[in-house]
Amino acid sequence: MESLKTNIQHLSVEKSLNLKQVYLDTQIKTIIDILNQELVGLLPVKTRIQEIAALLVIDKLRENLGFTTGNPGLHMSFTGSPGTGKTTVATRMADILFKLGYSKKGHLLTVTRDDLVGQFIGHTAPKTKEVLKKAMGGILFIDEAYYLYKPDNERDYGAEAIEILLQVMENQRDSLVVILAGYKDRMEQFYASNPGLSSRIANHVDFPDYSSEELLIIAKMMLEEQQYQFTQSAEIAFLDYIKKRRSLPLFANARSVRNALDRARMRQANRNFETGGRILTKADLVTITDEDIRQSSIFKY
């Protein structure tokens, strides 16, 4: 302990100032701010990502000061329903790792089972290795990762892809970060069946479903990006739509909201088209009304 204090005391003021500049140069705060702007809610997720980023920054500063630093476990598990921002967060995580020098290229490669597993003997290994080669220097994001493992099918080659993946996650963790994603319950079963994978993942991040009010905010942000807007009554109608849609099968949070808005825009376009020879105003072209929302079949239930 005494030697550690002595080492700290001998650090020059100039070097300390330089380290502060290194922290500013990483632009981590900018990336976190962008993440907060892109995603509504998800406070537990944002907090966890900020904690991971903070640890990586401190480890980098310690390394620059000559302190011993362990190799941080960067492989991750993102669990949650579709449309909860997992891919968006993975993209920002890639930015963070690149800024801090933990990733050489900073790119994100998103794949599914079909990209990794072959249809016949000898096909899986080259497919998996080719994907890993493309992902090196960045993040490999495997969506619905539990489909890699099909224990009921003796002729399935997913286990071979998992074995290759395990080797790379252990032996080349300085060159590649793997994020496994999917529904929480299925991912838990997947890890239980593949303890080697679970033991290599240090960061488990759960993405909660959005509330109805949060989805309405997301909808308004999506419309603003496309230069549309709700009338006040349309906003109320869309909140009603969300509450009804959430109770039906295959609800996918922000994805379902985007699909609903696309259909509302089509109804709005058709409504304007059917006005005949009337001259349309700018307001006609940018406004979504409650009529455009309530024509949805959702309101028949």
Quick count: other Cβ atoms within 10 Å of Cβ 242? 24
CATH number of 212-300: 1.10.8.60
Question: Structure pTM?
Answer: 0.83
CA–CA separation, 83 and 42 (whole Å): 12
- Assess if CATH 3.30.565.10 describes domain 2-207: no
User: Does the pLDDT value for residue 76 go beyond 90?
Assistant: yes
Q: Residue 2's pLDDT band (boundaries 50, 70, 90)?
A: very low
> What would the pLDDT profile of 219-269 be if each residue is shown by its tens digit?
999 999 999 999 999 999 999 999 999 999 999 999 999 999 999 999 999
CA–CA separation, 241 and 296 (whole Å): 8
Helix (H) or strand (E) holding 268: helix 254-273
**Residues 282-294, mean pLDDT to the nearest whole number:** 94
Q: Give CA separation, 170 vs 73, 83, 126, 165, 290, in Å.
A: 10, 30, 19, 9, 54
DSSP string, 35-87: HHHH-SS-HHHHHHHHHHHHHHHHHHHHHHTT---------EEEEE-TTSSHH
Q: Which residues are within 8 A (CB) of 268 and not within 5 positions of it... i.e. 6 or more apart?
A: 287, 288, 289, 292
Q: Residue 185's pLDDT band (boundaries 50, 70, 90)?
A: very high
User: Hey, CA dihedral for 43, 27, 82, 254, is it positive or negative?
Assistant: positive
Residues of the chain with CATH 3.40.50.300: 2-207
CA–CA separation, 226 and 266 (whole Å): 13
Q: Which two tokens stand for residue 282?
A: 């700018």
pLDDT at 32: 82
Residues of the chain with CATH 1.10.8.60: 212-300
User: Hey, CA dihedral for 98, 75, 132, 119, is it positive or negative?
Assistant: negative
Q: Which two tokens stand for residue 21?
A: 């500049």
> What would the pLDDT profile of 113-134 be if each residue is shown by its tens digit?
999 998 877 788 999 999 999 9
User: Does the pLDDT value for residue 283 go beyond 60?
Assistant: yes
Q: Residue 56's pLDDT band (boundaries 50, 70, 90)?
A: confident
User: Does the pLDDT value for residue 6 go beyond 50?
Assistant: no
Percentage of the chain modeled with pLDDT above 70: 89
